[in-house]
Amino acid sequence: MRKKIVAGNWKMNNSLKEGLELAGRINELLKMRGKKEADVILAPPFIFLSDITKMIDPQLISVAAQNCASEEKGAFTGEISAEMVASTGATHVIIGHSERRSYFGEDDRMLNKKVNIALKNNLYPIFCCGEILNQREKGIHFEVIQKQLENGLFSLDSSEFSRVIIAYEPVWAIGTGVTATPEQAQEMHQHIRGLVDKKYGSSISEELTILYGGSCKPSNAGELFKNPDVDGGLIGGASLVAEDFISIIYSF
């Protein structure tokens, strides 16, 4: 059965103390609320990973890194390897977030290397794809997503691909106050599932979790999650407020 997932990407926010308090509060609220439809993942900054994996209940929350290096080890000052991420107890890693693509110039070739290294270290990649406003206005958004998936993921074999989670980010709807309509989200998620079906077959495409990653918040999560191909969200700002994040988790 296809997994529902709500993942919180904290980005570069919070001190260590604040991050531990936030994770603790989310853990506490999940215990209080009880049964939920979605798995929960927290993606704090690297330096929080070890502390957070030790304090949360792994039956309630999984932990992800926000990125990993494209090389296994060596003289790469400031980089964090997939092996290092896994050693903290984290189980997932976000790869190819729109901010990594746009601000740090990460291309499809590099992201493919990261995916392979993550899988080699038994991490589940949360692979991000998405188009910018200019590409959507030109009507080439479907082609952009297809290229990102083909170059970033489609070299994997079926068993490797089955460990991947995809997050669709309409880049024009991140931090702009604009949100893709539920219909736009469903249209692209359906397109992504169709591409995966053509490449890997229906048994894999139907099990694939596809998250929506564009300004999802308590006020619109329910409508977005009603779509048959929207399996949850990669949440940014709303994941920094425990009560808002919990509200999204229970929006299914």
Active-site residues, by number, are 97, 169
Residues 114 and 101: their CA atoms lie apart, in Å, by 13
* Bridge partner list, 6: 40, 233
Of the CA atoms within 13 Å of residue 28, those in its CB half-sphere come to 8
Distance of CA 103 to the CA centre of its chain: 18
DSSP-H helix ranges across 68-211: 82-87, 98-104, 108-120, 133-137, 141-152, 158-161, 182-200, 202-205
Tokens of 2: 């296809």
Contact between 118 and 125 under an 8 Å Cβ cutoff? The reply is yes
Contact between 205 and 196 under an 8 Å Cβ cutoff? The reply is yes
